[in-house]
Chains A and B, each alone.
Chain A
């Protein structure tokens, strides 16, 4: 069975601080895909990144970076120099290689960036 754990329920930081959101996953599949989504107060989910299980390269996109480590089954997300607009709920999700439909979501981490 697949499982995604986001142990941090809520994080509060002051603007310009760096913050890391943790994600730990469980799967028996050797091929799988990991995702991060952002859900601002308006409610929609915004796709941020996808990572394939066979590609462990870390990725940086502007102030966002992702650290994928298969050895610890983790896919952590770091925001550098956080801004108020980063305030949102962030979800980590997992899909196995054989599934046509199922995204397993973590419970989400509420990030609040204070001015």
Chain B
């Protein structure tokens, strides 16, 4: 079992608002990831981090930003939410091979 947490689980927010999706893990994993998944679709990597103060963009272009100030914490921020950001956001962490996923945040921007 992996201990990786995401909050909030569900969020409905208006256009133009700034939001931060929280992700934390208690396993001491260096590598962390953010994926975006539309309903019924595959996962797309949007950000990843190898460790503290290391962040990189993934394959799918995203207007979100991330930070990694502490090993256990990898928040994702949208400065100005738009309806096109409506999706599920999944956070994951990895020590060796497997990535372990959090429960996800379902974001709806109205």
Task: Tell me the A residues contacting B by CB distance below 8 Å.
Answer: 33, 35, 37, 42-47, 50, 89, 91, 95, 100-103, 105-108, 110
Residue of A nearest to B98 (CB): A47
Task: Tell me the B residues contacting A by CB distance below 8 Å.
Answer: 2, 31, 33, 40-43, 45, 48, 50, 56, 58-59, 88, 90, 92, 97-104, 106
Q: Is the CB of A47 within 8 A of B31?
A: no
Q: Is the CB of B88 within 8 A of A43?
A: yes
Residue of B nearest to A45 (CB): B101
Instruction: Across the A-B interface, give the 6 residue pairs with the lowest CB-CB distance, nearest first.
Output: A45-B101, A44-B103, A43-B104, A101-B48, A105-B42, A107-B42
Q: Is the CB of B45 within 8 A of A102?
A: yes
Q: Is the CB of B41 within 8 A of A107?
A: yes
A-B contacts besides A37-B101, A47-B99, A101-B48, 12 pairs, CB < 8 Å? A33-B97, A43-B90, A43-B103, A89-B40, A102-B45, A102-B58, A103-B33, A105-B42, A105-B43, A107-B42, A108-B42, A110-B40
Q: Is the CB of B88 within 8 A of A101?
A: no
Q: Is the CB of B41 within 8 A of A50?
A: no
A-B contact pairs, 19 of them (CB 8 A): A37-B101, A43-B90, A43-B103, A45-B92, A45-B101, A47-B100, A47-B101, A50-B97, A89-B40, A91-B43, A95-B97, A101-B45, A101-B50, A102-B58, A105-B43, A106-B42, A107-B41, A108-B42, A110-B40
